[in-house]
Structure 1
Amino acid sequence: MAERRCIFITGGASGIGRATARLFAERGWFVAIADVNVPGMEDTLGLLDGGFKYMHRLDVRDRAAWDDALQAAWTAAGQRIDVVVNNAGVGAGGSLSEMAPDEIDRCLDINLKGVLYGAQAAYPYLQKTAPGSALINMASAAGIAGSGGMSVYCATKFGVRAVSESLDAEWAAEGITVASICPSFIETPLLDGTGNRNSNEPIRERVRAAGLEITPVEEVAKAVWDAVHGDKLDYFVGKTSKRMAFAKRWMPGKVRKQLRNSVRPLGR
């Protein structure tokens, strides 16, 4: 009987992390989740059938804590980790001139440094289960085109795609798959936030007013599955993300004009 494969998912307390945990558990994987939200993680584990699951409190900004979390998950799963999903992230929006330094730092530290720390910590575990192991990084449509009022968030998601592309080249010879997932607006709790402390308008209302679709979170989980078993570098999820990737490649001038004319900064 083949050994049960293990996936380690950050941001596992809700949203994309929870949906991904459910999908992989349904398909027979050992699922380890990490988050700072312990009650949320308990709720996620409660949705998974069987006993092949584990949770660990992890702040992805803490490099040493990454080592502790992965070691514990590796032990719980029977000494293997096949896939690490860097999914934990926070939103940040508003005019850069109005953002507080701590807001900028928090977004950079969680969304970008957390991914770098996770990749670095995951490497020795993925080496052991290669070929066929994978690092999957959660980017965004915000990593395809830079929208007004989203400079910091876009910087992190462009960065996540750059990290993925670099590591795809760096780890290919070892048989470790690296990919980025680029969803458009997804049905997660992030949509209920305002993006920054100076705005009281939920992001969800901005999305609807712009006529953009909100993609079911299960579609992102399916993209993670496809990335683990596929060979593409970028996986675009949702109509907005796919259209944006196409337009940015073939009509960059038109995209630039639309972004200049149609996007107002959050918080105004």
Structure 2
Amino acid sequence: MAERKAIFITGGASGIGRAIALLFGQRGWFVGLGDVDKDGLRETEDQIGHGFVFSHVFDVRDREAWNGALDGFAIATGGRIDVLVNNAGIPLGGELIQNSTEEIERCLDINLKGVLFGAQAAYPHLVETAPGSCLLNTASAAGIYGTPGASVYSATKFGVRAVTESLDGEWAEYGIKVRSLMPGFIDTPLLEHATNRQSNEAIRQRVTDAGLEITPVGDVAQAAWDAVHGDKLHTTVGKSAKRLAFASRWLPGRLRKEMRSSARPMGK
């Protein structure tokens, strides 16, 4: 079995996925990338700048495509996958009554079902490199407390948190670590998206208007490194996420009042 460790990252064409890929690549890992964005994958490959990189264009909603992506990566690495990063995801904001059936189903399928499919596909590979292999899921601060104006997105991220906790128990006996990242608003291209199809307002503007900070994407990459090598189940990233985690645990009544009084649906 090859000595160089290997990590496969979905959503690797940009944003958090690209940042994680660059950091692990710089530190000598064989990097696998998955995304639907072929051009973005090429750009990430170029930025990694060495030959130990593999990319596969596929949709995380396709269970069979997962097998093809990970089997291909395992062949490229000489038979090992140490870490799978379930990172692919999309935003969806606005009041629930504004969200179309198509938007709701797409968000659920990519953000939650894609994570479940990834875990299933990764399991046989992670067993082979255990103990110490890791499934790392990108959740969100929206998985700490439900965000007004983002009910569907929050539901998916609560789901990712639940999957992480469930598999942490299920896979402990096999020596597979299961972890999640819970970032707040991160400086990635997703911030330029409209909150939903009925809105012309970009998420970045919504965040800025609310006075919330935007965390550098490199902070998430370092958090990913720490999560893979540490023993913490959930890792919050950014001041907003950390404040939310504290308030939800120690000041739940106050947090509820703040959410109810300051709620402004993201689609307005």
Q: Distance in 1 between matches of 2:62 and 2:205?
A: 34
Residue in structure 1 matched with residue 136 of structure 2 by the alignment: 136
Residue in structure 2 matched with residue 192 of structure 1 by the alignment: 192
Residue in structure 1 matched with residue 260 of structure 2 by the alignment: 260
Residue type of the partner of 1:136? L
Residue in structure 2 matched with residue 180 of structure 1 by the alignment: 180
Residue type of the partner of 2:191? L
Q: 1:221-260 alignment to 2 at 5 Å?
A: 221-260=221-260
Matched, 1:121 2:118: no
Q: Distance in 2 between matches of 1:267 and 1:69?
A: 36
Q: 1:1-268 alignment to 2 at 5 Å?
A: 3-268=3-268
Q: Calculate the aligned-residue CA RMSD, in Å.
A: 1.0
Residue type of the partner of 1:133? S
Counterpart secondary structure, 1:47:
helix
Counterpart secondary structure, 1:196:
coil
User: What count of residue pairs does the alignment treat as equivalent?
Assistant: 268
Q: Distance in 1 between matches of 2:84 and 2:170?
A: 17
Q: Which runs of 4+ in 1 moved over 4 A?
A: none
The offset of 1:49, in angstroms, is 2.3
The offset of 1:173, in angstroms, is 1.2
Describe the superposition over 1:144-191 as per-residue Cα deviations: whole angstroms up to 9, x where unpaired. Answer: 111211000000000000000000001011110100100000000110
TM-score of the two chains, using structure 1 as the length reference: 0.99
Q: Distance in 1 between matches of 2:112 and 2:60?
A: 10
The offset of 1:50, in angstroms, is 1.6
TM-score of the two chains, using structure 2 as the length reference: 0.99
Consecutive unaligned residues of structure 1, counting only runs of 5 or more, are: none
Residue type of the partner of 1:82? D
Describe the superposition over 1:222-253 as per-residue Cα deviations: whole angstroms up to 9, x where unpaired. Answer: 11101110111000000000010000000001
Describe the superposition over 1:18-44 as per-residue Cα deviations: whole angstroms up to 9, x where unpaired. Answer: 000000000000000000000000000
Q: Distance in 2 between matches of 1:233 and 1:114?
A: 20
The offset of 1:2, in angstroms, is 7.1
Q: Distance in 1 between matches of 2:266 and 2:240?
A: 19
Residue type of the partner of 2:143? G
Q: Distance in 1 between matches of 2:161 and 2:114?
A: 14
Q: Percent identity?
A: 63
